A and B are shown apart, each in its own frame.
Chain A
């Protein structure tokens, strides 16, 4: 057991950290206000290999694994969670990596690893989020095509993606609830695909979120992920087990950013003739933030380490995701409290952190879903 990260990983942290500080910080507030996707930053990060860094070298990535991806994500989210979602420019491709055919891996993974395309994972529907198997989008075989009808909701990267990995029912006749679905790759410019941007998000406003409808969308059968029907639910679960670690790293990063900003502020801000850092009630908050962040980071590293070894532990992943989300919300809350009135206005980053943090308890498996995963398996 070794708690040291390697020299390459340290350099990765440095590059990602410098990149976020230089590229995110100056525009974070503006992109948040305008709800604008940071396309230029995505492009630049792609050129440096920071997007899709988890993708093995043979498919065009840097091959740093999901651990390396978590390190990048943490550094990015420390500065701005919304912009950090450029890391999710490969969203959905994790399912191709785990369950796609060799041809699919060769065709799609290099696109997202080399800045040629952004992808999306289209799982959630207006009436099916946590209940993944409740997705009702239908894909019907017609000759060599599938014809897809249905609608998707809260899809990250909807408007900016070139293709998406969509969950659809291909085998309604199958008696098993979990064997009716398949994952199908759908290019976003196919006739019948309509994508609308969702406005008014509380946080992560620099990220793109859309609702999507499919009306008689034809895709060739070769777009079926893994070339076998009925595996969609399981492929989706494996996908979430992967991306949950990225989201957990977002939580650690945001929490660390909130702590960093707070430490800086409490040393400068004076009240009653002394810096507020000298008050025990401030110290308590700073220490409690640090305690939780350290614990959450260790969970993320452990989960990522096992994921890279191919030993996925759904309980551990659920614990990690739950705790990282809690930590982010907890720390952002304390950061605002420590900043007082200033923390309540958007000139100060912690206001944005506070709004951004909440999504970490909702997306990629709500905290309630994580609790279910943990408890059901423990009590089974």
Chain B
């Protein structure tokens, strides 16, 4: 089974996020960067499918600056075979979901694959658009929020379980397809030490805009970015006895919180 996995490097979820001076993005200095956690599920699934099939390869594709090589090496250490790192300053300020998907599509289009895996969304901007646009650009079906995947023996179709409100939907999809990984799909492995030592010898092809023959303009521009408002202090329910407190609580839940 040959697969492509799209990777994004994002700030570690424990990072204290600060907004930059222009108010259009985050301060990137001092940030610890990691592979987006949903992309880890995607890498793991690609590895499992390859192992199950007993043959094939896992190719990583990632767009971003030099630092992205760290996420790529981590995925290679987990067991992926090769990687394409699209690294060009021309993309730096323009990488909205459409531009990103266009670049990834250009990097992927000549590859042979049975499926493309992405995380269901990036952990930083939560846009969740790249995979769908990528599918559109490559003319492939897209199934999002996948929690289970069974590939047919001939690798022509897959039976996919995806989450829907209050339950799950089971979908048959022809391959190749773009599939996005939801939590629950699998438990990502640790990069083993032999894996880490092998990763440095695995090939990573670096490509620029010129190499890919694409020049993209973003379709969206971030006008401003702000942090969520500080959490308000909790409210203490007052009352002379438990009956009075219960009445006050019910009132607050109904009128203020509008929960009941």
Contact = CB atoms under 8 A, between A and B. Distances in A.
A7 interface: yes
Interface string A1-40: 0000001101110110011000000000000000000000
A11 B199 contact: yes
B16 to A, nearest CB: 11
A48 B193 contact: yes
B175 interface: no
A11 B199 CA distance: 10
Interface in B41-96: 69-70, 73-74, 77
A10 B70 contact: yes
A7 B193 contact: no
Contacts of B74: 11, 14
B216 interface: no
Interface string A29-61: 000000000000000000111100100010000
B36 to A, nearest CB: 15
B191 to A, nearest CB: 5
Nearest to A60: B194
Nearest to A11: B196
Chain A binding surface SS class: helix
A184 interface: no
Contacts of B192: 15, 47-49
A117 to B, nearest CB: 18
B196 A8 contact: yes
A220 interface: no
B69 to A, nearest CB: 8
Contacts of A10: 70
B197 A63 contact: yes
Interface residues of B: mostly helix, strand, loop or mixed?
helix
Contacts of B199: 8, 11
A109 interface: no
A62 interface: yes
A236 interface: no
A8 B200 contact: yes
Contact of B200 (A7, A18, A50, A63): A7
A8 B70 CA distance: 10
A360 interface: no
Contacts of A18: 190
Contacts of B200: 7-8
A11 B73 contact: yes
Nearest to A18: B190
Given A7-B70, A7-B73, A10-B70, A15 B197 contact: no
Contacts of A48: 190, 192-193
Contacts of B77: 11, 15
A19 B197 contact: no
A135 interface: no
Nearest to B191: A15
Nearest to B69: A7
Q: By CB atoms of chain A within 10 A, which of B70, B77, B194, B196 has the most?
A: B196
A64 interface: yes
Nearest to A50: B193
A300 B180 CA distance: 44
B227 to A, nearest CB: 18
Contacts of A47: 192
A214 to B, nearest CB: 35
A10 B192 CA distance: 13
A26 B195 CA distance: 26
A122 to B, nearest CB: 28
A316 to B, nearest CB: 27
Nearest to A44: B190
A12 B190 contact: no
A8 B197 contact: yes
Contacts of A12: 193, 196
B44 to A, nearest CB: 14
Given A8-B200, A11-B73, A14-B74, A64 B190 contact: no
Interface in B183-207: 190-197, 199-200
Nearest to A47: B192
Contacts of B194: 49, 62
B58 to A, nearest CB: 18
Interface centre among A11, A14, A18, A64 (most CB of B within 10 A): A11
A79 to B, nearest CB: 15
B11 to A, nearest CB: 15
Contacts of A57: 197
B66 to A, nearest CB: 12
Given A15-B193, A49-B194, A62-B197, 12 more contacts: A7-B69, A8-B196, A8-B197, A8-B200, A11-B70, A11-B73, A11-B196, A15-B191, A15-B196, A48-B192, A48-B193, A62-B194
9 contacts: A7-B200, A8-B196, A18-B190, A19-B190, A47-B192, A49-B195, A50-B193, A64-B193, A64-B197
Interface of B: 69-70, 73-74, 77, 190-197, 199-200
Nearest 4 A/B pairs, CB to CB: A49-B193, A62-B193, A48-B192, A11-B196
